[in-house]
Amino acid sequence: MVADNSRVISELTSKLQSLSVAEAASKQQIVHLNNIRNENDSLKSALSKATVEAAAAAKALANFEAIKASNTELSERLAKVTRSLNESLEQNAALKREISEYSKQTAALESLKLEFATLDSLARKLKTELEEKTRALEETPAMESDSDSWKRVESERDEIVNQFAQARIEWEKKEAALMNEYTSLKNLVDELNREVAKFEQFKKEQDELEQKLHAREAELAEKSARLAAAETEKQVLMVKGNDRSAELETENIGLRKKLSELENELSEVKSSFNLKSTDAGSEESPERHERIHHMNVCKSDNTLESEGDVASLRAENSRLQQKNEELRHRNFKILDHVVGLEKQLAEKLSTELPSRSKSKEAKSNSIEAQLLDERKLVASTIGSIVDSPMENSNYNDYINDLASSLKAALRSRKYDNDKDKISLAKLEAEIARYKGAFNTLSALLTQIELGVQERESSYNDRVAQLQSELNKAVRC
């Protein structure tokens, strides 16, 4: 009987030890629940950071509105440039009319040239007639006696020859001047036709650039709308996250209540075990000892299973904590990167847009003034060419300098348009990078929420399993 009592006492002692282990596991569960609460607090802080990020996104949206306003200003400037180009085309049309008049004058010069040719033929004819008359006079014997008349005829002949030589020299000079003037006018007409073609091509490029700018404005408006929609969606997610945090808090409170109930049940089981141990000392029936032994075996098996489950829960909890830390670290890195991108974008917009707009306005005004001055200079020079005998040897140099300056102005304007295209491409790349960072942040927040839900479900399953095991132990 003493051996049976000692055996029962040892069994009850082992059961108490297993219950102590279960109690320690329950305390560890309480610690884990406290950790969950801390993690919920960290999630709340992350949500507050997300709120700050939403404010930054609103700031970025304001920056986009500023870009849109600057694009509107650029459109107005393009309209001014288009009007100036139309005026330039009108001036070019006037120059074409002047060129047609110069062509008429060239035709008149050709007619003068023909008249000079007819005069030359008449002079040669007169010369032949004079020579024939001279020969006839020489052959006349009556003229031999009349020396005065002979001398008079010779003087008239010499005078006619001198006049003819002077007229020939003057005609050759005028012919050379007319040929030079004709060549210069022809070169000038060709150069002006080339410049008109270049201006028409430039106007076509300006129209294409204006269309691209309107398309870019529409694209920016669409992206701004998408950003606003993403911001509203993010606010909805933040509200859901706050609601989810409140639900997790209430569920944590419920889990604490369940744990307290489990502790109470454990204390009741301990008291019942103590009562059973006292009853076992008084009762000596073998059936009672067998039932107690069977209950101890069930308890030991359940304890071993619960210890294995607790170890697996610890491993799973450590894995989830590590994953949560990695996600949190990545989230903070992405937030810092997004803030840096926003600062860089704001600095670029604040520094580049005013200077670029001022430089563009100054360049456009200088180009317009230069074109007008050059056209006036060309018109005045052409007028002086018509009235003058074209003895200025620097005219060809002036034409070459004028053509080179116009080409340089066109090249510089084309370079400015290329710079505008490059700046728009950079802005589009910055917007794409910001959008990618925002999508990555949303995905990470979703992963964190899924991890919390997974951990919560595992804890709920484990609590239900422990409660069922406890109920089985009580029934046994």
Tokens (6 digits) for 241: 């996250």
How far is Cα 163 from Cα 441, in angstroms, rounded to an integer?
A: 102
The pLDDT assigned to 383 comes to: 47
**Is the predicted pLDDT of residue 403 greater than 50, yes or no?**
yes
pLDDT tens-digit profile of 108-151?
777 777 876 777 777 677 777 767 766 666 665 544 455 666 67
At residue 388, the pLDDT reads 42
User: Which of the four pLDDT bands, split at 50, 70 and 90, describes residue 45?
Assistant: confident
Say whether pLDDT at 301 is over 60. no
CA angle (154, 118, 175) in 5-degree steps? 95
Across the range 406-425, mean pLDDT stands at 60
Which residues touch 372 (CB under 8 Å, ≥6 apart)? Answer: 91
Residue recorded with tokens 């150069």:
191
Distance between the two ends of the chain, CA-based, in angstroms? Answer: 24
Q: Which residue has the higher pLDDT, 305 or 85?
A: 85
Average pLDDT over residues 36-46: 71
**Interatomic CA distance for residues 333 and 441, integer angstroms:** 10
Task: Report the alpha-carbon distance of residue 26 to residue 310 in Å, rounded.
Answer: 10
Higher pLDDT pick, 119 / 263: 119
Query: What is the reported pLDDT for 193?
Result: 75
**pLDDT reported for residue 143:** 47
More confident position, 269 or 210:
210
**Which pLDDT value is given to residue 251?**
64
State yes or no: pLDDT of 296 exceeds 60: no
Q: What CA–CA distance (Å, rounded) separates 196 from 190?
A: 10
Mean per-residue pLDDT, 36-48: 71
Q: What's the mean pLDDT in 36-63?
A: 72
Segment of 189-203, 300-314, 378-392 carrying the highest mean pLDDT: 189-203
Q: Write down the pLDDT at residue 53.
A: 73
Q: pTM of the predicted model, to two decimals? A: 0.27
pLDDT recorded at residue 4 = 61
Least confident interval from 102-111, 144-153, 230-239: 144-153
Question: CB of 364 within 8 A of CB of 81?
Answer: yes
pLDDT greater at residue 393 or residue 249: 249
pLDDT tens digits for range 73-91: 777 877 787 787 777 777 7
Q: What percent of the chain has pLDDT over 70?
A: 37
pLDDT digits (tens, 9 = 90+) for 166-224: 877 887 787 787 778 777 777 777 777 787 777 777 778 777 877 877 777 777 777 76
Domain ranges in the chain are 2-114+195-475
**CA torsion angle 296 297 298 304 (round to 10):** 110
Give the separation between CA 273 and CA 448, rounded to whole angstroms.
45
Q: Is the pLDDT of residue 304 over 50?
A: no
| pLDDT band at residue 392 under the 50/70/90 scheme | very low
Average pLDDT, the chain: 66
Structure confidence at residue 153 (pLDDT): 66
| pLDDT for position 182 | 73
Indicate the angle between helix axes 286-387 and 395-475, nearest 10 degrees.
Answer: 170
Q: What percent of the chain has pLDDT over 90?
A: 0
| 434-474 tens-digit pLDDT | 666 666 666 666 676 677 677 767 766 776 777 677 667 66
Instruction: Check residue 284 and give its pLDDT.
Output: 43
The 3-state DSSP class for residue 476 equals coil
